[in-house]
Structure 1
């Protein structure tokens, strides 16, 4: 795993006791590098998830239009996204709403439990309900036709377990691949359930998921698929780096192309123009 760069975090906390805190919101890396400073939020109607979003949501909507969405499942299928928060916050700062499995945490205490893939469906259901609720901050702000499902490691298997959901437009597999495994309710057969584009973002030969991702890439022949390999990324990629590092930048190129229709961002994948991604390898097909 790449060396960690300590994040700058601000917390707004309602304290129930000295030992028990209910964290309402959190700012990671000063809100990210994007045009909309991001916050991580605990929503009362969705306490077992974190919503990463522009702090000034209506300002972002006014400039961007309805915001595209991502639902995210964590490495180890864990009930915390704290190890991925730098990438997810960075994505949000560029005009996205990300809903990740697991309650909002102050710090990584390594105390976590396993989750189920259906929680991703619950996250999408919540987004649909919030968009229609006049009392919600998210009312008429979400583009429900533009949903990505992403996951890291075991979380990627959870994405494949719910791949049939018709609301998913694109699948993002970080350090993940099914290969010949059965995991989290998914298997190689789940690849056939994908009905939108797929990107694998992996970390080279030292990433235990790379070989499975290669197999998946070879086997997917019915939808567009990309294989983006950071040769020295390892299994942790750049999730620990400021602003999420190169993994966040690669993910944003994909999301901006696939969900925002920014065709110039396709150059990273289709040409491929990797001038901003030294020591990366790219393959694509079915586009």
Structure 2
């Protein structure tokens, strides 16, 4: 904590700043390919999560305005995002702030425990509190009206389990779908709770989630929904590739369109223009051109 002492007449007033909450940082893929080099952060007030954010937050906000947000749940509903960190760091490097379930790990030791979907709500609560807290690094730098909830595999089910949360504007299901199953507190019924746009990003016939995602796409009939299929992506997609590979680029097109209002990015989905995405297919419904 940073302390300052101010003399007012004969009265000493001690003020304590809340700066310096960061207790550990990590750089992934040299900070990503975006205009704002990203870092992964462990926060003193959020020890069971990782914050992926531009390193020079003030500069990013000056250029972008208040940053859109994503909360993220991991494959296997695990308490670590290390297997997804390349995608999440890459997203952050393009002017986003991501909070993922699980404490920051410097290396993958393959030790993990299961988590609860409610942690996504905790992440959103923390973001709201930090944006309102005078002295926080994030004070008035976050756009709370632009929140994406994303998850991979079982993490996608966790997203659906909290789908009612009114703060969520768009949902991102990576290698995930409910189909006719129940998982992580979610089921087919959870689809009716979705109140914003949805994208499924899956990995072709070898992805065990693809058929469930197709069923979800067919059943959702009240909000805009997209189905982006990397035909040779398998269940792990490109999470392991530098800068998160094609999964990160597809996710960024979606986020830039849905949360930043960049209509030029909609051509990937609405035309669809897949010139930058060989061996992908896209289906959409309920979008207005």
Which bin holds the TM-score, normalised by the shorter protein?
Answer: over 0.9
2:147–2:168 contact (8 Å) kept in structure 1: yes
Structure 1: stretches of 5+ with no match in the other structure: 1-21
**Distance in 2 between the 1:281 and 1:108 partners?**
32
State the Cα deviation string for residues 86-117 of structure 1 (Å, max 9, x = none): 00000000000000000000111110000000
User: Secondary structure at 2:186's aligned position in 1?
Assistant: coil
User: Residue 148 of structure 1 corresponds to which residue in structure 2?
Assistant: 148
Is the 2:23–2:43 contact (alpha carbons within 8 Å) kept by the matching residues of 1?
A: no
Question: How far did 1:263 drift?
Answer: 0.1
After TM superposition, the score normalised by the length of structure 1 is 0.92
**In the alignment, what sits opposite 1:260?**
260
In the alignment, the residues of structure 1 paired with residue 186 and residue 269 of structure 2 have an alpha-carbon distance, to the nearest angstrom, of 27
- Asked whether the equivalents of residues 38 and 54 of structure 2 are also in contact (C-alpha less than 8 Å), the reply is yes
Does 2:73 align with 1:73? yes
Does the residue aligned with 2:195 lie in a helix, a strand or coil?
Answer: coil
Contact kept? 1:23, 1:105, Cα under 8 Å:
no
- The count of residues paired between Structure 1 and Structure 2 equals 266
CA offsets 1:189-229 (integer angstroms, 9 cap, x no match): 00000000000000000000000000000000000000000
Task: Give yes or no for the alignment of 1:122 onto 2:122.
Answer: yes
**Aligned mates of 2:106, 2:62 — CA distance in 1:** 31
Higher relative contact order (CA 8 A, sep 6+): 1
* 1:112 aligned residue: 112
Larger radius of gyration: 2
Partner SS state of residue 40, structure 1? strand
> Which residue number corresponds to residue 136 of structure 1?
136
The C-alpha deviation readout for 1:172-192, integer Å capped at 9, x for no partner, is: 000000000100000000000
Question: Residues 90-239 of structure 1 correspond to what in structure 2 (within 5 A)?
Answer: 90-239=90-239
Structure 2 portions without partners, runs of 5+: 1-21
Q: What secondary structure, in the 3-state scheme, does the structure 2 residue paired with 1:212 have?
A: helix
Partners of 2:87 and 2:50 lie apart in 1 by 13
Q: Tell me how far 1:238 sits from its aligned partner.
A: 0.1
d(CA) in 2 for partners of 1:208, 1:109: 25
Q: Distance in 2 between matches of 1:277 and 1:181?
A: 31
Secondary structure in 1 matching 2:27? strand
Residue of structure 2 in register with 1:286 after alignment:
286
Deviation at 1:23, TM superposition (A): 6.8
d(CA) in 2 for partners of 1:286, 1:161? 23
Equivalents in 2 of 1:253, 1:71: separation in Å? 17
The residue aligned with 2:45 is: 45
Residue aligning to 1:270: 270
For the 8 Å contact 2:23–2:44, the answer to whether it is kept is no
Q: Please provide the CA RMSD for this pair.
A: 0.8
Q: Secondary structure at the match of 1:240?
A: coil
Is the contact between residue 49 and residue 102 of structure 2 (CA under 8 Å) also seen in structure 1?
Answer: yes
CA distance in 2, matches of 1:129, 1:154: 27
Distance in 1, Cα, partners of 2:80 & 2:136: 24
- State the 1:135 CA deviation: 1.5
d(CA) in 2 for partners of 1:189, 1:270: 27
